[in-house]
């Protein structure tokens, strides 16, 4: 064992007690001054500023602390939670299962809050009005059935019913509901027919004057052109009346039966109604006679057709017809009396 004590690093005690002098690269240096505090030291000397905790670091610290040992209980887990109202709501007992045997019949369900719908249509009427409506409906249905049946018998071939009740069918059909097959014939009507009329007017001094010819067909055509809703009268009254006359007269304008005389009165009244609009009569004047004529012009065939027809107009002039008071249904009382007086004077002469 050595005879001297060693220092902390195994050196002799004499050497360890002597302080070491600072030396430079070439020799001893001057003693060092006190070192100025550095930036980290300056920051450490300043009071610590409170900083916001980093969530990631806090979470990591909590995980580390959980590994190291028990942690404090989470206050959010210990808070009492409110029960779910949908789960905690008590259910209503079933009346059929929970009603005791001796409690009597079950309670009636509450009335429906929606009001009943009021009756509509015929059901909303009173009992008397319902009876009237039913009768009117029955009459309408019966009339329609009779009309359809009459039309069928009129256009159907001759049979036992038409031979037995042909007069009744004609009285129902003519003149308003007359039917024809011209549109469906192999050669439909290809003519333009113009009906014209003029009249002799007896003046107050006993003389007479003749009016000019009025083209009644042209007047109807002008009223129909550019009219989206022309009247039935403008379209069919004159045309059907003239067709009725031609079908019941021969080439010499003589009637071929009882319907011929009826067609003459029908055409004459139409002519007088139209003349009364264009020839206003003065006081004391009256229609004495009326004359009708027709002008038929064939429609020329189209250019691609080989049909050859004569397009020369054909006129048909009827004789003068005497006017009677019954031919003037719209005449005033004075005119009717004058016509009757004139007719009586003519009968005396």
- Give long-range contacts, CB 8 A cutoff, 24+ apart: 180-183: 180/243, 181/155
Residues 192-227 pLDDT 10s: 999 999 999 998 888 889 999 999 999 999 989 988
pTM over 0.75: no
**Contact (Cβ atoms closer than 8 angstroms) between residue 253 and residue 307:** no
User: Residue 295: what pLDDT?
Assistant: 93
Residues 238-281 pLDDT 10s: 988 998 999 999 989 999 888 898 999 999 999 998 888 888 78
CA atoms within 13 A on the CB side of 112: 4
**Contact (Cβ atoms closer than 8 angstroms) between residue 172 and residue 150:** yes
User: Residue 121: what pLDDT?
Assistant: 76
For residues 198 and 88, which has the higher predicted lDDT (pLDDT)?
198
**pLDDT over 70, % of the chain:** 60
Distant-in-sequence, close-in-space partners of 273: CB < 8 Å, separation ≥ 6: 330
Domain ranges of the chain: 127-172, 181-301+308-348
pLDDT-based confidence at residue 102 (cuts at 50, 70, 90): low
- Average pLDDT over the chain reads 74
**pLDDT over 90, % of the chain:** 23
Residues 25-45 pLDDT 10s: 444 445 555 555 555 556 555
């Amino acid at each position: 064992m050595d005879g001297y004590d060693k220092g902390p690093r195994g050196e002799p005690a004499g050497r360890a007690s002597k302080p070491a002098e600072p030396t430079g690269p070439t020799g001893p240096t001057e003693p060092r001054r006190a070192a100025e505090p550095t930036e980290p030291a300056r920051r450490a000397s300043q009071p610590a500023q409170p900083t916001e905790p980093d969530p990631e670091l806090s979470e990591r610290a909590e995980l580390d602390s959980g590994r190291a040992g028990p942690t404090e209980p989470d206050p959010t887990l210990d808070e009492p939670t409110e029960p779910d109202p949908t789960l905690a709501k008590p259910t209503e007992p079933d009346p059929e299962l929970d009603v005791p045997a001796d409690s009597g019949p079950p309670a009636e369900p509450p009335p429906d809050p929606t009001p009943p719908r009021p009756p509509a249509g015929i059901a909303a009427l009173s009992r008397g009005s319902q009876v009237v409506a039913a009768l009117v409906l029955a009459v309408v249905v019966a009339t329609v059935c009779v009309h359809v049946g009459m039309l069928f018998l009129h256009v159907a071939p001759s049979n036992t019913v038409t031979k037995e009740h042909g007069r009744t069918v004609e009285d129902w059909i003519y003149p308003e509901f007359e039917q024809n097959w011209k549109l469906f014939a192999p050669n439909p009507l290809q003519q333009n027919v113009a009906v014209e009329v003029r009249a002799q007017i007896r003046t107050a001094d006993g003389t007479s004057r003749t009016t000019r010819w009025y083209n009644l067909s042209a007047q109807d055509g002008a009223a129909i052109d550019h009219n989206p809703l022309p009247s039935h009268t403008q379209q069919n009254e004159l045309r059907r009346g003239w067709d009725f006359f031609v079908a019941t007269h021969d080439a010499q304008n003589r009637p071929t039966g009882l319907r011929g005389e009826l067609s003459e009165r029908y055409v004459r009244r139409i002519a007088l109604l139209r003349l009364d609009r264009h020839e206003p009569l003065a006081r004391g004047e009256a229609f004495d006679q009326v004359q009708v004529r027709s002008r038929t012009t064939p429609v020329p065939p189209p250019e691609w057709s080989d049909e050859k027809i004569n397009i020369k107009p054909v006129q048909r002039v009827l004789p003068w017809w005497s006017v009677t008071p019954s031919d003037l249904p719209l005449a005033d009382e004075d005119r009717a009396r004058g016509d009757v007086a004139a007719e009586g004077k003519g009968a005396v002469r």
